Structure 1
Amino acid sequence: MMPSQVKWEKPELGWMKLNTDGSCNAAAGKAAGGGLIRDDMGNWVVGFTRKLGNVNSFTAEVWALRDGLILCHQMKFPAVIIELDAKALVDALSNPRSSNSVISPLFDDCKLLISQIPHVRIKHVFREANKCADRLANSGHAQVVEFIIHSAPPMDLVPFVEDDSKGVSCSRLCPVLVPFC
């Protein structure tokens, strides 16, 4: 393991970035999801939170992604970078034959919504580069209504959004990749 600097990065000019996350508290039997869309300057476009109830973490991740993709579709964004810290979901989306019988309708919705965006990139990021989506997902546990759209960042999230826009990084221990000979 080697220390690396990890940060949220602005998308290229003309692209939007969707970060989503799911949150699961198995002991309490609660799950939630959330995420946000930012423009190529790092500015907040829209955010969302969803209270889910008793589902597993993978299902919470897929719900959050679906919610974010629906917003991207409604806003007619032509180019979207999707960042997730759920590697299993990124891998499933990257495999065209992938399916999951437990959450197939949700997962299929995500794949359909992705196919309707002209330019899409799906990327796995470390949790530290997804902290705004993580905080939104966690806040979904306490909300009274099922789904909330945030036209501006909640006050407690403002410093994190600003740090991301400024390129503030944090240190993380990452595996060292050894090239093949």
Structure 2
Amino acid sequence: MSLTPSSLISQFPLQLVNLTLQISSALYRGSMAFPRERLLSVWVVRHPPVAGPSMVAAVLPLPSQVTWIPPPANSLKINFDGALFKDINKAGLGVVIRNDHGQVIASLSEQIQLPFSSDLVEALAAARAISFAHELSFTNYVLEGDSDVVIKALKHSDDSLSSFGHILASAKTLTDVKCITFSHTRRSGNAVAHNLAKHARHVLGFKVWMEDVPPHLHSVLIADYG
């Protein structure tokens, strides 16, 4: 049974919920913070959230499921995913960049107009991940998603003839694809990016977190690397 934020608050005093979030954030900051001096500067555009809950129910991977695997030593892995919000005619893109210790370098949630297919959403998420890395001046990394069709298209040197081929081709022009390793994982190994994509329902435009993810995803981040 999934627990929504409203049901959690109805079962526990608000003070206890706030205290739990504070402890979780403090533990995360104390053990997994990434030195700011090693990060390149980036212009972050922040938009006010859409009216509604600021925290959504996160989907954690089960202990027996595939979890996130770190990249090789001294390298980065960028995970991406998309989500559909058909009831509001929107879609969400989620991207998270982590180092080989599982520490977050940056993460992003972006809301876009609803494309005509789920594969197109995944392709747009992959393209956004590449452009996000380009904005941060990262060129050598592992790019990972749970869409097999998109990852296969990215691995081919020839442009894909699919409906989203032009999107991937355009994104590839931003970087040297020879420096990117494309990797496919299951949904359970892509939990942080998946939840960031879902969080985009409550974001206007896009929002970036440097060295962090939204507070309600700290537990997902820890479980994803467990």
TM interval, shorter chain, is 0.7 to 0.9
> 1:150 aligns to what?
209
Counterparts of residues 32-181 of structure 1 (less than 5 Å): 32-55=92-115, 56-100=117-161, 102-113=163-174, 115-116=175-176, 119-143=179-203, 145-151=204-210, 152-165=212-225, 168=226
| Distance change (3 Å), C-alpha of 1:104 and 1:9 | closer
Give the letter aligned to residue 150 of structure 2: L
Given that residues 80 and 129 in structure 2 are in contact (C-alpha distance below 8 angstroms), is that contact kept between their aligned partners in structure 1? yes
Provide closer, same or farther for how the CA distance between residues 78 and 30 of structure 1 changes in structure 2, counting only shifts above 3 A.
closer
Q: Distance in 1 between matches of 2:93 and 2:161?
A: 19
Kept in 2, the 8 Å contact 1:35–1:49? The answer is yes
TM superposition shift of 1:17: 0.4
DSSP 3-state at the match of 1:24: strand
The CA RMSD over aligned residues, in Å, is: 2.0
Match of 1:10 in 2: 70
- What's the TM-score once normalised by structure 2's chain length? 0.65
**Cα 1:86–1:96 shift into 2, 3 Å:** same
Where 1:76 maps in the other structure, the secondary structure is coil
Task: Give distance in 2, aligned partners of 1:100 and 1:148.
Answer: 32
- Give the letter for the 2:189 counterpart: A
In the alignment, structure 1 segments of 5+ residues that lack a partner are: 169-181
> Highest CA radius of gyration, 1 or 2?
2
Could you tell me the TM-score, scaled by structure 1's length? 0.80
Q: Is the 8 A contact 2:90 2:114 kept in 1?
A: yes
CA distance in 2 between partners of 1:5 and 1:17 (Å): 20
Q: Which structure shows the higher helix fraction?
A: 2
Counterpart contact for 2:65–2:188, Cα < 8 Å: no
Contact kept in structure 1, 2:83 and 2:93, CA below 8 Å:
yes
1:74-128, Cα deviation, whole Å (9 max, x unpaired): 3222420111100110111122224246444422122223x42562110110000
Determine helix, strand or coil for the equivalent of 1:17: strand
Aligned length: 161
Cα distance, 1:38–1:83 mapped onto 2, change above 3 Å: same
Secondary structure of the residue that 2:173 maps to in structure 1? helix
Q: CA deviation at 1:57?
A: 1.5
Which runs of 5 or more residues in structure 2 are unaligned? Answer: 1-63
